[in-house]
Amino acid sequence: MEFNLSDRQKEFKRIAKKFSNEVLKDKVKFFDENQQVPTEIIKQLYDHGFGAITIEEEYNGLGCGMLDFAVVIEEISKVCGSTALTLIGSSLGAIAIDLYGNESQKKKYLPDIADGKKLATFAVSESSAGSDISSMKTIVEECDDKYIMNGSKCWITNAEIADIYVVLSKGKGDKYSTFIVEKEFEGFKFGKKEDKLGMRSSSTGELIFQNCIIPKENLLYKSGEGMHMAGKILNYSRPIIGAQALGIAEGAFEDSIRYAKERKQFGKSISSFQIIKHILVDMYTEIEAARWLVYNACKKIDDNDEDIQVEASISKVFASNTAMKVTTNAIQILGGYGYIKEYPMEKRMRDAKVTQIYEGTNQILNNLAAKSLLNRY
Ligand SMILES: Cc1cc2nc3c(=O)[nH]c(=O)nc-3n(C[C@H](O)[C@H](O)[C@H](O)COP(=O)(O)OP(=O)(O)OC[C@H]3O[C@@H](n4cnc5c(N)ncnc54)[C@H](O)[C@@H]3O)c2cc1C
């Protein structure tokens, strides 16, 4: 069944595809090898409005939905999932401010994010608190007219290149709250920059808070609501990770089918061997199923459905498992050419892996989906 995209969504998809193929494709290998963020390309993506899709129009955004954003992320990820990650990381910070910011916070931060003048990020994980975020050690104390934060966050996307950090922290009485931290705030600095298996053209690193001074007005929403807020923010973003994984799988599938038709062994095209045909059909089947799950989850968010935990979780789990399986099989179809760095397939497999890990590992997301399903039925 073809998912019904609006004309606007089809147009977003068309422009993102054209840009990714014409501008990004030839540079992907360089940025991956050099572990460098493609700053100029990211700027151009913002010039196209791709970083502003879900931000409200009064804050320089396009006022569109998650499905619009998902189709753009899918098309960019067909060519480079890692480039898409910089946009996803920033949009996660923007979603947090959009959902929970007051008028003056939105006015202050969202227009610069929408215009690409500043990147954002959402920082939750710590070295000893990944899946179990309640065990975090970063702590905030309220002091007269300010908050003082101490601790560190690790594996944060856009760490060193962002300007606006939405940070979840523990507070008094084991209550959790969320703060907007600016790069220039006193007591905030960067720690280790990570050297990664995949997503190498996205920046990942550590944030350190040493008596970091946060003005009172930078508390996001209400004190003590941080955990609940993080759940909602991540539910909005997980289908977007699904879209990223979907794009990685689609890129791998398209290259595999082209290669299978061209490559000859034993005097025949390898696509004439039944085993290869079946692998290709399995890839296609799972990609189509993943696309439906991802688009459906985004549509539920756009329809303001509050009961989205199941769809947000399973779309990310299924799409990321599909990306891992499809990229692994794609390397099998390409044989030696799949394994060497001259061609883009091995990068896709490296990039795919982390989609099973971040924004909640697939094991944790299955736990969350199960809990919601048991409540729903
Ligand atoms: C490239 C990259 C970018 C990232 N970007 C960000 C970011 O921008 N912001 C941010 O906050 N974080 C970010 N992260 C961190 C990421 O979200 C965490 O790595 C992830 O949540 C898992 O935490 P962990 O690595 O500590 O694994 P752990 O929680 O230690 O898990 C290890 C293993 O145990 C399993 N496990 C744990 N608990 C259970 C359980 N109850 N039941 C079953 N299995 C379980 C897990 O599924 C996993 O397989 C990023 C990570 C990477 C690699």
165 Cβ below 6 A of ligand 1: no
- Total count of domains within the chain: 3
**Contact between 101 and 94 (Cβ < 8 Å):** no
User: How does pLDDT run across 274-291, given as a tens digit for each residue?
Assistant: 999 999 999 999 999 999
Q: How many CB atoms lie within 10 A of CB 229?
A: 20
* Residues 193 and 298 reside in one and the same domain: no
Query: Any idea of the CA torsion for 206, 212, 213, 216, to the nearest 10 degrees?
Result: 60
Q: Band the pLDDT of 173: cuts 50, 70, 90.
A: confident
Reduce the DSSP state of residue 219 to 3 states and report it.
Answer: strand
* Residues 273 and 359 reside in one and the same domain: yes
* Residues 328 and 266 reside in one and the same domain: yes
The atom number, within ligand 1, closest to the CA of 158 reads: 8
* Residues 237 and 371 reside in one and the same domain: yes
Q: Which residues of 321-349 are buried (b: 16+ CB within 10 A; e: fewer)?
A: bbbbbbbbbbbebbeeebeeeebbbbbbb
* Residues 261 and 358 reside in one and the same domain: yes
User: How does pLDDT run across 256-276, given as a tens digit for each residue?
Assistant: 999 999 999 999 999 999 999
- The answer to whether residue 359 is catalytic is yes
pLDDT for 174 equals 84
**Contact between 136 and 168 (Cβ < 8 Å):** yes
* Residues 215 and 240 reside in one and the same domain: no
* Residues 241 and 300 reside in one and the same domain: yes
User: How does pLDDT run across 21-64, given as a tens digit for each residue?
Assistant: 999 999 999 999 999 999 999 999 999 999 999 999 999 999 99
310: in domain: yes
Q: How much is the mean pLDDT over the chain?
A: 97
Query: Residue 344's domain is classified under what CATH number?
Result: 1.20.140.10
2: in domain: no
* Residues 275 and 372 reside in one and the same domain: yes
* Residues 99 and 199 reside in one and the same domain: no
Residue 1 pLDDT exceeds 70:
no
* Residues 134 and 109 reside in one and the same domain: no
pLDDT for 3 equals 83
Q: At a CB cut-off of 8 Å and minimum separation 6, what does 69 contact?
A: 53, 54, 91, 240, 243, 298
Give percent above pLDDT 90 in the chain: 98
Q: Given ligand 1 and candidates 131, 199, 368, which is best to mutate, with the most ligand atoms within 8 Å of its CB?
A: 131
User: How does pLDDT run across 100-124, given as a tens digit for each residue?
Assistant: 999 999 999 999 999 999 999 999 9
Q: Which of 126, 311, 346, 359 is catalytic?
A: 359
Query: Residue 176's domain is classified under what CATH number?
Result: 2.40.110.10
234: in domain: yes
Name residue 131's amino acid. Answer: S
**Contact between 160 and 194 (Cβ < 8 Å):** no
Q: Which residues span the domain enclosing 52? A: 7-115
